A and B are shown apart, each in its own frame.
Chain A
Amino acid sequence: DTAVSQTPKYLVTQMGNDKSIKCEQNLGHDTMYWYKQDSKKFLKIMFSYNNKELIINETVPNRFSPKSPDKAHLNLHINSLELGDSAVYFCASSQDLTHYGYTFGSGTRLTVV
């Protein structure tokens, strides 16, 4: 069973469209995250939710909006997509960050054309 699953794995869309990426974890973790990885592999945290409550909201355009319907799900909605949004987006979860770190999903490669 996949611990952290993201859908879709690939997403190709035109500029200006609105799209969503879904993430689910079956580990019982309290905290979930969204990261963006650029073409140089640099990882940037975007959001973090703990038990459905937003706890980290880094400087990202407000076109990006996370939604957590329950603690097992954290979705990412992106409005008015731009070319610069092309990247790989990773979902992750953790229970005890200091001792166990993250469990990552396999990523969603978003390409905006």
Chain B
Amino acid sequence: GNSVTQMEGPVTLSEEAFLTINCTYTATGYPSLFWYVQYPGEGLQLLLKATKADDKGSNKGFEATYRKETTSFHLEKGSVQVSDSAVYFCALGRNQFYFGTGTSLTVIP
């Protein structure tokens, strides 16, 4: 079946620290992979996506590479800011969407 396993939080980092949020998936066929971000009190927004193996999605300094060999789509950012504090969701899309459990990130000044 299809599923997403996401790193548990919460994660607390100092400003300008390096961020990695791990995401691995199980899928039949070749899904697309997504990262969504949910800021406090808001809905989910698409952060980045990759539709095939070895694709790299990037947006707002965040990056993730679709790794078929390790079935992973880890989210990274080189230098986080306080404004990046949010909940991050990894998701797999095929006929249906499968979300991870979300990882809460707090960035402190």
Q: Residues on A close to B: CB < 8 A?
A: 4, 40-43, 45, 48, 56, 90, 92, 97-107
Contact = CB atoms under 8 A, between A and B. Distances in A.
B51 A99 contact: yes
Contacts of A104: 36, 43-45
Interface string B82-109: 0000010101011111010110100000
A41 B97 contact: no
Nearest to A56: B96
Interface of B: 31-32, 34, 36, 38, 42-46, 49, 51, 87, 89, 91, 93-97, 99, 101-102, 104
Contact of B94 (A48, A98, A100, A107): A98
Secondary structure call for the B interface: strand
Contacts of A99: 32, 51
Contacts, number: 55
Given A90-B43, A90-B44, A104-B43, A97 B93 contact: yes
A90 B97 CA distance: 14
Given A48-B96, A90-B44, A99-B32, 11 more contacts: A4-B43, A41-B38, A45-B96, A56-B96, A92-B44, A97-B32, A97-B94, A98-B32, A99-B51, A101-B34, A102-B44
A101 B43 contact: no
Contact of B97 (A4, A42, A102, A107): A102
A41 B87 contact: yes
A105 B87 CA distance: 16
